[in-house]
Homo-oligomer: A and B are copies of this chain.
Amino acid sequence: MSAVLDHLAANASRHVDELCAYLRFPSVSAQEKHAPDLRAAADWVASRLRGLGLDTTLHETAGHPIVVARTLPHDPAKPTFLVYGHYDVQPPEPFELWKTPPFEPRIEDGNVYARGSCDNKGQHLAHIHAVEAYVRTGTPLPCNLTFLIEGEEEVGSTHLYSFLPAHKDLLACDAVVISDNGIPSLTHPALTYALRGIVALEVRVDGPDRDLHSGLFGGSLENPAFALCSILAGLKDSKGRVSVPGFYDDVAKLSKYERAQMAKIPFNERRYAKFLGVPQVTGEAGFTTNERRTARPTMEINGLTSGYQGQGSKTIVPSWASAKLTFRLVPNQKPSRVLAAIRRRLKELCPPTVRLSITDGHGGEPYLVAPEGPLVQAGLKAMSGGFGREALLMREGGSIPIVSAFRKHLKADTLLLGMSLPDDNPHSPNEKFSLEAYTKGMRMAALLWPELSAAVRS
């Protein structure tokens, strides 16, 4: 193992160069024009894995290709683990808020700044480098490994969901490892035992069949933008709770043990508000800030569109108004059941003077894995070793909906071993990835396979 860790240390500068090369692909899955860039990113990571001797295939889908790479030879006597990641990234807009262009990586103060740096290219590339260290030093892996790198995570992994059941044998494994999440700090690494789920939808309110002069017609018909605002305002109450009948029915109560674990993570509310740039934090009454952002369901407006948005004013009653919404879910809420309740509530809130349409977006189940099980304990050991600090247990507020699909189709639990820091700005302008987290994450990834293999064998 020391040869593996030495190899990682000796190649640190090349690891950064390779990450920068990977980050230069503007692989934005939400925007059709970037399809060729997604393919180029997939080709790049596939050829990187092929170069390490892995049996690597680009599987075509109706969307972006899925990369699968398996260590050779496959030894059925050893346990098998699957490492999942995604080469697609969030839209970089608004461009003007980036200090330097999102797809021209910049190294500054021990960080690499670029869209996709922490979410997720840097994190899964760390796993690839760890395997490289095994391969180049001739150190035998104690397990079989399968890399599964997709290109549609940021738009709901549509084609991976059909790919999984169709390739159960190819992807069969004892456990899944994902590094697509965060840790509280470099001195407080933490393993994530629960994730929030999500339902996304778009709500549109149609009024007059064209924009109308607000002087000639205003006052005699419903303003669709006002109707939309009223509907959306009706989705949350004054205590920060989602006003959708049945929304909380399936929410598993937080145990005292869980709340105590969460409270161990250092947290300063004033500093957090300052970090977000808000005058003060707020949220659902009766819960701490960390509970609100990781262990409680939410309703968020992601975008609003109506009427004239250009310079100056335009005195109209707009023809329509729309909103993009996401609801974060927690164990044991079901996306389909929640979505049905939301749709009912939206219809109930919409006046008969406008037409409502609802477009369902992607959905993902919330996730929970037993914190006291052998897999989690093995993960904690590798994380403690990699970061040189005792690893804690935590929940994560984000969604990695694919973990539920792994559980369903591969009958495998997933370990979430994050490397991202709280100020990495995933999904925001000036996304970054800490080079120290990158290095320590590689060490964790190298230490992981003996620990996990022993846990599965025991």
Contact = CB atoms under 8 A, between A and B. Distances in A.
B215 A399 contact: yes
Interface string A199-237: 010100001111111111111111101101110111010
A186 interface: no
Nearest to A307: B303
Given A212-B428, A305-B309, A427-B316, A226 B300 contact: yes
A212 B275 CA distance: 11
A97 B211 CA distance: 10
A48 to B, nearest CB: 27
Given A229-B233, A302-B318, A304-B225, A283 B220 contact: yes
Interface string A270-301: 00110011111111100001101100111111
Contacts of A214: 298, 300, 302, 326, 328, 427
A300 B351 contact: no
A182 B308 CA distance: 24
A91 interface: yes
A192 to B, nearest CB: 12
A302 B314 contact: yes
Interface in A235-285: 236, 272-273, 276-284
Contacts of A236: 226
Given A220-B292, A314-B90, A351-B282, A306 B308 contact: no
A345 interface: no
Interface stretch (A3-11, A354-362, A381-389): A354-362
A44 to B, nearest CB: 23
Contacts of A30: 310-314
A219 B299 CA distance: 8
- Which of A273, A307, A351 counts the most B-chain CB atoms under 10 A from its CB? A307
Contacts of A133: none
B221 A312 contact: no
A188 B154 CA distance: 59
A362 B313 contact: yes
Given A216-B182, A314-B30, A425-B210, A354 B279 contact: yes
Contacts of A102: none
A198 B315 contact: yes
Interface string A59-80: 0000000000000000000000
Given A220-B289, A328-B215, A315 B302 contact: yes
Contacts of A220: 272, 281-283, 289-290, 292-293
Contacts of A425: 210
Given A217-B397, A226-B300, 14 more contacts: A91-B308, A156-B313, A182-B216, A200-B313, A210-B277, A214-B298, A219-B284, A219-B292, A219-B296, A220-B283, A221-B278, A225-B301, A228-B229, A315-B399
Interface of A: 29-32, 90-91, 93-94, 97, 155-156, 182, 196, 198, 200, 202, 207-223, 225-226, 228-230, 232-234, 236, 272-273, 276-284, 289-290, 292-293, 296-318, 321, 323-324, 326, 328, 351-355, 361-362, 396-399, 422, 425-430
